[in-house]
A and B are shown apart, each in its own frame.
Chain A
């Protein structure tokens, strides 16, 4: 009972936070400078780890799938198999998880220590809304940069797969690229970009909510940071399942 009540009130408060941060969009003041700064630290700052993750994921996909494909004489579709699994599933999910770990923790730690040291109170006392100044720019930055990061993870991943296919299994690079091109449908790309937008929203909302609701001093900051990463990661994976299902029904004519 207590758990359910807590869960429901959490959902309610997060919805309310979403509403307030959206409201911050069409009624001024707007914080462009903050949003750009966040896009820089979230987007540019995460590019490295996200690309690295993509590269090795593409590589391991080929490493594992190639022998099986070879067994069925389907080596030539290695490109397609890597590209579709990356673009549909692994790219969006792994990128979101990496960003949840790197950015979600940073957001909730920063907001949490601002709560604990009364900087949030000071901000309100000085006439600024913390939601507009801190939450809205971070969520917008995530909504914009996560699809871009995912896109680059996909690209680097496909390249990594190609490299492994060439170096380890001696597959012709042109064949690989042809097959990857052939394998990617428009619906894959649309789905692969819709997911990171939703995931970005989840990371931003959850991390800001956890940070702003930090209680109990510096210990509380640690607690809300952990909780922000765990909660956004779990929600990303759950949301991924339902998003895939929805996208599949929407595009059922074209997928499989």
Chain B
């Protein structure tokens, strides 16, 4: 609640032009009492949470608990029945598709199944956003290669999506989402169904975005080792520009990662991963251990 007041205050300060300091304090994503039902089935029941700037919010929850729905609401692909959704402090709840386009430019989305365009090559998929914005082809090529290097897939640049494995598709999806350096990235189960090393690579990407690019993100997952990686490691750059992953605690540092857990459309936990592990709630304990 205190946060709400703070936001309103900052927003006011920003608008009246007294000071620009306030803009920095605005959360990247905020849900206030969001409700959604399909027919008479309640999908989200009075959900409120905040993703601060630069924060990674891990969203846990069983199948059908409403995780993808939350992500669709952020993108404006769905509209809530009640409540308010703010992106970078701007109330987007009633924005139509046209107005949402401006917001979406700043959001990268990694879909649960990749959602690559079948009729376009890997290159064209990753370049999609830039082609739509009629960016110079030379610049497009540079950016696409850079992004494919980021996800370790330079070799697949001329392939069609149907020639890729599941993990490769997912990584192309990540590259496509990251083009244009969005300040918010939404991952919908990016590691589901992948082998542990590939899953690890994807978590490392998310960690790099958080620690090196200051990206705010939502990371939906079922997998406990994703939670482990994201909430205990951080990325640093050494003098030659190589990325290293270090465990929390080697140096004192507070990772910018929090967890929320959904159960049938309700948030039943919100906090740090240590708190999550210490909870007495039998449902959460069973979720963490699988029994």
Contact = CB atoms under 8 A, between A and B. Distances in A.
B111 A126 contact: no
B104 interface: yes
B118 interface: yes
Interface string A209-253: 000000000000000000000000000000000000000000000
Contacts of B112: 118
Given A117-B118, A119-B118, A124 B111 contact: no
Interface string A117-131: 111011111111100
A124 B132 contact: no
A10 interface: no
B132 A122 contact: no
B137 interface: no
A119 B113 CA distance: 10
A29 B131 CA distance: 12
Interface in B24-69: none
Contacts of A113: 118
A119 B101 contact: no
B117 A119 contact: yes
Given A29-B132, A127-B132, A128-B132, A122 B115 contact: yes
B111 A121 contact: yes
A117 B97 CA distance: 20
Given A124-B75, A126-B132, A127-B129, A117 B113 contact: yes
Contacts, number: 52
Nearest to B109: A125
B77 interface: yes
Given A117-B118, A127-B132, A122 B105 contact: no
Contact of B115 (A29, A118, A128): A118
B107 A125 contact: yes
Given A118-B115, A122-B115, A127 B109 contact: no
B176 interface: yes
Interface in A103-146: 113-114, 117-119, 121-129
B115 A124 contact: no
Nearest to A130: B97
**Best-surrounded residue of A114, A119, A129 (most CB of chain B within 10 A):** A119
Contact of A118 (B107, B111, B128, B132): B111
B128 A126 contact: yes
Interface in A5-56: 29
Contacts of A29: 132
Interface in B78-119: 97-98, 100-101, 104-105, 107, 109, 111-113, 115-118
B101 A122 contact: no
A127 B111 contact: no
B97 A122 contact: no
A129 B97 contact: yes
Nearest to B105: A127
A128 B101 CA distance: 7
A243 B77 CA distance: 39
B78 to A, nearest CB: 10
B129 A126 contact: yes
A231 B57 CA distance: 47
B38 to A, nearest CB: 12
Contacts of A124: 75, 77, 97, 100, 104
Given A126-B104, A126-B176, A127-B105, A121 B132 contact: no
Interface in B122-162: 128-129, 132
A152 B100 CA distance: 45
A121 B117 contact: no
Nearest to A110: B119
**Best-surrounded residue of B100, B132, B176 (most CB of chain A within 10 A):** B132
B74 to A, nearest CB: 10
Contacts of A118: 111-113, 115
Nearest to B129: A126
23 contacts: A29-B132, A113-B118, A114-B118, A117-B118, A118-B112, A119-B115, A119-B116, A121-B75, A121-B77, A121-B115, A122-B117, A124-B77, A124-B100, A124-B104, A125-B77, A125-B109, A126-B109, A126-B129, A127-B101, A127-B132, A128-B128, A129-B97, A129-B101
Given A118-B112, A121-B75, A124-B75, 11 more contacts: A117-B115, A119-B117, A122-B109, A122-B117, A124-B77, A124-B100, A125-B75, A125-B77, A125-B111, A127-B129, A128-B132
Considering the complex of A and B, which 9 residue pairs feature the smallest CB-CB distances, nearest first?
A118-B115, A122-B115, A125-B109, A127-B104, A127-B101, A125-B75, A118-B111, A126-B129, A127-B105
